[in-house]
Chains A and B, each alone.
Chain A
Amino acid sequence: MKLAILSESPADEAAIAVLAAAVLGGPFERVQPALRARGWPNVAQVLPAVIRHLHFNTLADAIMVVVDSDDSPVHTVRHDAPGYFHPLCRLCRLRAIFRQTVKNLPPARGREGVLRGAGVAVPAIEAWLLCGRDPQVSEAAWLNGQIAGHLPYTRAELKWRTYGTDRPNLPHEMRCAVEAAQRHGRDLRRLENDFPGFAVLARDVRSWVGT
């Protein structure tokens, strides 16, 4: 499996690479490791060009894209109804961008197209990293907080809980991210259960097997 990863920071990418290997059940070949975006909405802006580039200029089998939801609406089962599209939901947007970009691409380099893996960390990847360590942190807790108008925690608090500071330097951030991802990698069930935004990504990745 030749896989490209597009996310918001080197630390996010490092964690996602570990999680990808865990879902795939083994190592993969990283394609174009220098891909990077500068957070949302830059991910959405560059994604079409990235997909086209991977399709025509590389041998990538698939791309994984993971973004933070920040304060945007959380993707729910309702969004998965046929024909439904929430314009502010980042997962809906990523999927739509992917769909629109690949639909008219001709086959290239011996394959039909680049496969999609899209996930959204609610509200930020630090929540995924804390999953299992901090029982208060879950996608449901954030969603309930959005509905009630009282968010259970802030993104800055998640940084504090994850890194011990809200100003982690890059090596520290990467170290914490990889350690947490490796912990999840031993058993992904809790992360998939508590964070549907990761579960949909894992489902995408598993769907590649055998394609």
Chain B
Amino acid sequence: MSHRNAGSWPGGGQARETTAGRLRARLASDTAVAQTGRVIASVVFRNFKALRDARVALAPFNLLIGPNGSGKTSLIEAVLRLCALARLPLGIPPADGRHRADGPEIEFNFTAPYDGLEATLRCVSENVCDLLQVVPRAGALREEDWTGLRSRLLRVRSYLLDHYAMAAPAMLANGTELAGNGGNLAAVLAARARAQPAVFAQFRAEVTRVLPEYDDLRFAERTDGTVELRVRLADGGEIVTAQNLSQGTLYTLAMLALAFDPAPPPVVCIEEIDRGIHPRLLREVRDALYRLSHPQATGLTRAPVQVIATTQSPYLLDLFRDHPEEIIIAEKHGRAATFSRLSDRADLAELLTEGSLGDMWFAGILGGVPEEK
């Protein structure tokens, strides 16, 4: 790996853009992303935690499976770290020697129109990655490329949903977009119901279809500026507060809220998408996330969202029989972890004649299972 000088264009990451240039870059990137459905093309890890030498190419939809500690969350954390550092001016390696040439680093490659850029996170330790370098693959770097990519990276979102947080009332003013733990779910939905009633009506119709025990969503605004989510039971009309909803119901509501976001982020990372959800509802979860990553499949014309999700559910994996290219298997051998694509297995078609993907995974044939001694 050759490290290129990050300070190869003036101004580093500080945007110096005109309105027209910003608009042109946004339009070009929207068109390109609409065609590819991806923003991040691949991630390469070197000496980062268990990912000593691991590469993963990312598709529009990516479902990571694998044992605990195999790097699934590390991939999401790396994306988040990239996005966090993208907020700052691009770095120039300090001369203090903290960033060793053989130290941990994570390299990102992007899809068109940003495929001419390569971003590298350099780390002081496995837990401290504080230097982002962005360099052109060839020729001179165009500032508008980084500006356009940066604007997308700043909108990347990651979710590790917390049903306790989701059940609590949320500040009504804090309803712009769903928080990482889903804690402002009530505020987000209330804001959509107020500002975009048609979009909210679609969402409500989907909720009542997926969860037919309910027939409406309600919002109780309080004097302290918070709003509480409530649902109405289809049988009898009783109102149930969010605090009395099951974990799985709240997770499902949050997943649908993401899927019906009228202005979704370009990349969404979600951990444990099966958590708390009945196996028979996993098809709905998959469909909801496909609505993000493949909007054209549901008749939507907006740009696709790149989805990076993790699961430990064989039942969910079964639903990807027709799209094994969307499955990333994280493996851990000793202290080293690697990634592979399920579709890269030459014997996959033959395997699928013998059993379901979930069974094959559990059996250990696909890999991605805990090591035993």
Interface assignment of A150: CB less than 8 Å from any CB of chain B: no
Known: A167-B290, A169-B291. A71 touches B356 (CB 8 A): no
Q: Mark B314-344, 1 if CB is under 8 A from A, else 0.
A: 0100100111000000000000000000000
Contacts of B2 in A (CB 8 A): none
Contacts of A42 in B (CB 8 A): 356
Contacts of B315 in A (CB 8 A): 38
Q: Are B294 and A41 interface neighbours, CB within 8 A?
A: no
CA distance A171 to B318 in the complex (A): 19
CA distance A156 to B280 in the complex (A): 23
For B283, the closest partner residue in chain A by CB is A170
Complex interface: stretch among B13-21, B179-187, B347-355: B347-355
Interface assignment of B28: CB less than 8 Å from any CB of chain A: no
Most buried by A among B280, B287, B290, B352: B287
Q: Select which of A39, A72, A156, A170 is within 8 A of B356 by beta carbon.
A: A39
Q: Mark B195-224, 1 if CB is under 8 A from A, else 0.
A: 000000000000001000000000000000
Q: Are B280 and A36 interface neighbours, CB within 8 A?
A: yes
Q: Are B297 and A165 interface neighbours, CB within 8 A?
A: yes
CA distance A42 to B322 in the complex (A): 17
Q: Mark B346-373, 1 if CB is under 8 A from A, else 0.
A: 0001001111101000000000000000
Interface assignment of B68: CB less than 8 Å from any CB of chain A: no
CA distance A38 to B280 in the complex (A): 10
Contacts of A170 in B (CB 8 A): 283-284, 287
Contacts of A171 in B (CB 8 A): 209
Q: Select which of A9, A167, A172 is within 8 A of B294 by beta carbon.
A: A167
Contacts of B290 in A (CB 8 A): 167, 169
Interface assignment of B298: CB less than 8 Å from any CB of chain A: yes
Most buried by A among B280, B294, B297, B352: B297
Interface assignment of A204: CB less than 8 Å from any CB of chain B: no
Give A contacts to B, CB under 8 Å: 9, 36, 38-39, 41-42, 70-72, 155-156, 159, 165-172
11 contacts between A and B (CB under 8 A): A9-B283, A38-B356, A39-B321, A41-B356, A71-B353, A165-B296, A165-B297, A166-B297, A166-B322, A167-B297, A169-B291
4 residue pairs, one from A and one from B, having the closest CB atoms? A165-B297, A169-B287, A167-B297, A167-B290
Q: Is the interface of B mostly helix, strand, loop or mixed?
A: helix
For A154, the closest partner residue in chain B by CB is B322
Contacts of B296 in A (CB 8 A): 165
CA distance A172 to B290 in the complex (A): 13
CA distance A41 to B283 in the complex (A): 19
Contacts of B291 in A (CB 8 A): 169
Contacts of B353 in A (CB 8 A): 70-72
Contacts of A72 in B (CB 8 A): 353
Q: Select which of B280, B297, B354, B355 is within 8 A of A168 by beta carbon.
A: B297
CA distance A36 to B315 in the complex (A): 13
Q: Mark B290-302, 1 if CB is under 8 A from A, else 0.
A: 1100101110000
Known: A70-B353, A71-B349. A169 touches B318 (CB 8 A): no
For A41, the closest partner residue in chain B by CB is B355
Q: Are A159 and B322 interface neighbours, CB within 8 A?
A: yes
Q: Select which of B280, B297, B355, B356 is within 8 A of A169 by beta carbon.
A: B297
CA distance A72 to B353 in the complex (A): 7
Contacts of A70 in B (CB 8 A): 352-353
